[in-house]
A and B are shown apart, each in its own frame.
Chain A
């Protein structure tokens, strides 16, 4: 399979992020280090995005804390396969807590794009969907085409969950779109958007 050729059937990561965030309503979004952070910024900056520039492995746990604190809002974590692999225990913790308003979408290119495209564990042995199911998350989606992605985006507007999606994306690197990397600013404007002092 070519990594980035036009015959590659996998989804384009920027377009996939746009599909997930289209008509997002009051959804809260956490993105992982690093490409999903550039994808979200490329879709359009928003104070309700909390971009991670570090803390690798923590995206899903930040989403869980947020989902518990804001039970009336949909919380979407979008992260990469490498970032998710670094925090697999968090899927177990999410399975136990079972927050209905949390959704985790993993953009899986089976590569560590930021560090030179080395193969990740999902390139060979590891199926993240099976891990999520094994952790007690029942609503698990293996997404490989635009229609399935749109169906999942529709579920984000419902109230059922927790949801887990593995989204097969091409291993390419679109031009970086960098949001603010001032953590205090990102934190304060996020809380401000929620009306918290």
Chain B
């Protein structure tokens, strides 16, 4: 999903000939896309913001029932120094919502943790056919600058 926190990663994915970047109109599309990609022998990852996690909830039934591996990288909003209160309800409940659906949740709070946390999530997702989300904290991403 288009996202400011993921913007550099999205550019890197688009520039990598070993990857196929598929922009989506809504996060739940990605759950189906990831399932289809795995059925066809590819290893998918889904990039989104915390607000999009709520859009995925029912479709996580597909992931769980069929035991599809899933790696979600989620940039957090609604926590550290958030300017926009409309982001707070989903941000505060992102981890709990994922855990209600038995998605394993890892968090990275600092930049030096990000690479190894994502690598660990990737291993457990594809070795264990499990759904894993890495929450990249808003403190790590940097609060959105509204007043320029």
Contacts and interface: CB of A to CB of B under 8 A. Distances in A.
Interface in B1-36: 20, 22-26, 28-36
B40 interface: yes
B100 interface: no
B96 interface: no
Nearest to A197: B41
**Residue from A30, A58, A64, A187 whose CB has the most chain B CB atoms within 10 Å:** A58
Given A62-B33, A68-B20, A184-B67, A55 B40 contact: no
Contact of A65 (B25, B26, B28, B35): B35
Nearest to B40: A69
Interface in B42-91: 42, 44, 58-59, 61-62, 65-68
Which residue, A61, A63, A96, has most C-beta atoms of chain B within 10 A?
A61
B120 interface: no
A65 B37 contact: yes
A70 B38 CA distance: 10
Given A93-B22, A183-B66, A184-B67, A55 B61 contact: yes
A66 B29 contact: no
B147 interface: no
Interface size grouping (class) on chain A: 35 or more
A136 interface: no
A89 interface: yes
A92 B33 CA distance: 13
Interface stretch (A116-124, A140-148, A162-170, A188-196): A188-196
Contact of A58 (B22, B23, B28, B44): B28
A177 to B, nearest CB: 21
Given A62-B32, A62-B33, A93-B23, A69 B41 contact: yes
A134 B13 CA distance: 28
B115 interface: no
A175 B68 CA distance: 31
B119 interface: no
Contacts of B30: 61
A141 to B, nearest CB: 23
B56 to A, nearest CB: 11
A90 interface: yes
Nearest to A66: B36
A89 B25 contact: yes
B24 A93 contact: yes
A87 interface: yes
A65 B39 contact: yes
Interface of B: 20, 22-26, 28-42, 44, 58-59, 61-62, 65-68
